[in-house]
Homo-oligomer: A and B are copies of this chain.
Amino acid sequence: MYLERISSPEDVRALPSSALPALCEEIRRAIIESSAAVGGHMGSNLAVVELAVALHRVFETPRDKIVFDVSHQTYAHKMLTGRAQAFLDPARYEDVSGFASPAESEHDLFAMGHTSTSVSLACGLVTARDLAGESYDVVAVIGDGSLSGGLAFEGLDNAAALGSGIIVVVNDNEWSIAPNHGGIYRNLAELRETGGRAECNVFRALGFDYRYLENGHDVAALEGALAELRGCDRPVVLHVHTQKGRGYAPALADPESWHHATPFDVESGLPAVPGASVDYARITGEYLLGRMADDPRLVAVSAATPYIMGFTPEMRERAGSHFVDVGIAEEHAVTYVTGLAHSGAHPVLGVYATFLQRAYDELWHDLCLNADVAPATILVFGASAYGTTDATHLGFFDIPMLGAMPGLTYLAPTCREEYLDMLSWALAYENGPVAIRVPVADVVSRPDFERPAGGYARGWEVVRQGCDVALLALGDLLPLGEKIADALAEHGVRATLVNPRLATTADEDLLGRLSAGHRVIVTLEDGILEGGFGERVARALACDDVHVRCYGLPRAFVDRYQPDELLASCGMTVEGVTADVLDLLGA
């Protein structure tokens, strides 16, 4: 086996060319086996095996600099830079992260997991190199849907203007997470169909030299094409055609589902553990599809992640023009939704919290500034410590972000029925945009749920009335609040339990009554403390004679953590909060 003997890129360069196809097959097998065991970005990584080998044959990292966009497709790169055992030895599968990590290797330049950043990072490396009078190569590897992100364009635009040597490898596997959308992908298709000779060429138009390589799995051809670019003193694009899921039949047959796989059986391609029969994605998709039948103005919008809102390919087909995937373009998605709402449509944008960060200014300047003329609904997914646990994709920074948006109502439902009722209410609400923090935890049901008389624009819900301490437990932490209330009752402490419903707005009337009737107020939120829900409460009561204790998550890039452990480290356990409350009450 070649792969076992590779401890650095030098070993890759020392191999005879004849060994490379076998090496690639070993890498591919390791991707499949390790992903089957612990999950992974199958499709994207299988597409770039030969490209990664060729890059390390031609360029000498870390002296030369290679920036892999998104960096979810760096498994082969990791294997070639001293981390092969983490993909070969099942006991070490968890040794490395799924993304580039400077902490792991000097060959990984940046921690990253959001798309479209590689060319801009590479531009910075280029300017720094030129200022220092050095002469190494800088390579950005971008593709897999990232080119539709505006930042990628800004980077390409500036790279062309800098005019210095930079190599942009466009890894064109014909897919985003879902099928590609956008004019630039039409141009890539034209270029593929003409062997790179189409007159229309967005890269040449921006000022790049351009090369095309049809077979992105011919490692010798890749090596040759890259070798020609060594030491180039101009911006150049090498457009490489690859196949998402290459070498694994189930992934080739269904690239969308196999973009990222949870653990699976290699033989059958079936999940090792069946998915939940019901989750909030499915609940969302079924509800919206049902509503589309009655509401010709309803439009569901996604930025390349239709599955998070339950829209499978079959459901998208059924939704027809009422479902729009704008591709990886979160900024555009929010501004587009503003335009939709302006003309009387009812847009619902579903987006991960971590990717909504891309559209901070569009939320502020487009959607919220135009709240009077353009109300819309945003479903925020994965906003929880129980969402993605990679530092690159943390979803629990959403409350300070959305809390700064004038006129935005940010709702935090606590169960299935409340979620759907809030969504229904939001679709009819005309006084400003509404965002909903879709629960991440297991689906909780409250069959007796009823809409509050005044709707959701203001007003919290008292779930249980007590008198010693008031527990304000936001969203999917309500069950934790209930358990704490029960535990306190065993100590003779009567707790009031509140479902605040609103993540960023204080119910000042209720807070006034709680402050007057309780000695301690506790806030519990599944989000960072800084700028969060708890601070809003602390300020509102800061001149009252009541003690307020806020529980929340750290403003930190915690990585590959255990959610329960993270909450426990912040004191958010039944035992921890109960003990603190007893202490504060002097009981």
Contact = CB atoms under 8 A, between A and B. Distances in A.
A466 interface: no
A206 B181 contact: no
A543 B535 contact: no
Interface string A444-455: 000000000000
Interface string A55-76: 0000000000101000000000
Contacts of A124: 335-343, 345, 347
Contact of A160 (B109, B182, B532): B182
B542 A542 contact: yes
Interface in A169-211: 181-187, 199-202, 204-208
B403 A531 contact: yes
A313 interface: no
Contacts of A345: 124, 127-128, 131-132
B542 A547 contact: yes
Given A401-B404, A406-B556, A538-B542, A121 B342 contact: yes
The bracket for how many chain A residues form the interface is 35 or more
Interface string A382-407: 00000000011000010011011111
Interface stretch (A239-247, A322-330, A492-500): A322-330
Q: How many copies does the complex hold?
A: 2
A336 B124 CA distance: 5
A336 to B, nearest CB: 5
Given A299-B127, A343-B129, A404-B400, A154 B150 contact: yes
A154 B401 contact: no
A561 interface: no
B530 A158 contact: no
B397 A364 contact: yes
Interface in A133-153: 148-153
Contact of A184 (B103, B206, B324, B331): B206
A120 B332 contact: yes
A336 B120 contact: yes
Contacts of A205: 183-184, 187, 200-202, 205
A110 B296 CA distance: 24
Interface centre among A372, A405, A530, A555 (most CB of B within 10 A): A530
A321 B364 contact: no
A474 interface: no
Given A121-B335, A360-B357, A159 B183 contact: yes
A417 B13 CA distance: 55
Contacts of A403: 400, 530-531
A550 B539 contact: yes
A206 B198 CA distance: 12
Nearest to A340: B124
Contact of A343 (B125, B158, B541): B125
Contact of A335 (B117, B184, B207): B117
A550 to B, nearest CB: 5
A112 B369 contact: yes
A306 interface: no
Interface centre among A103, A374, A392 (most CB of B within 10 A): A374
A153 B335 CA distance: 13
B397 A400 contact: no
Contacts of A114: 361, 365
Nearest to A190: B205
A502 interface: no
A583 to B, nearest CB: 10
Contacts of A543: 547-549, 584
A514 to B, nearest CB: 14
B369 A336 contact: no
Interface centre among A67, A327, A336, A339 (most CB of B within 10 A): A339
A128 B343 contact: yes
A25 interface: no
A102 interface: yes
A255 B75 CA distance: 50
A156 interface: yes
A365 B113 contact: yes
Interface string A352-382: 0001011011101110111011100000000
Interface in A274-318: 296-297, 299
Contacts of A109: 342, 373
16 contacts: A103-B372, A110-B342, A112-B366, A121-B342, A124-B335, A124-B341, A128-B339, A128-B344, A131-B296, A131-B299, A131-B321, A132-B345, A154-B332, A358-B360, A406-B555, A504-B530
Interface of A: 65, 67, 102-103, 109-114, 117, 120-132, 148-161, 181-187, 199-202, 204-208, 296-297, 299, 321-322, 324, 326-327, 329, 331-332, 335-345, 347, 355, 357-358, 360-362, 364-366, 368-370, 372-374, 391-392, 397, 400-401, 403-407, 504, 528-532, 534-536, 538-539, 541-543, 547-550, 555-557, 584
Given A120-B339, A530-B536, 8 more contacts: A127-B324, A127-B345, A150-B150, A150-B152, A154-B326, A407-B556, A529-B539, A530-B531
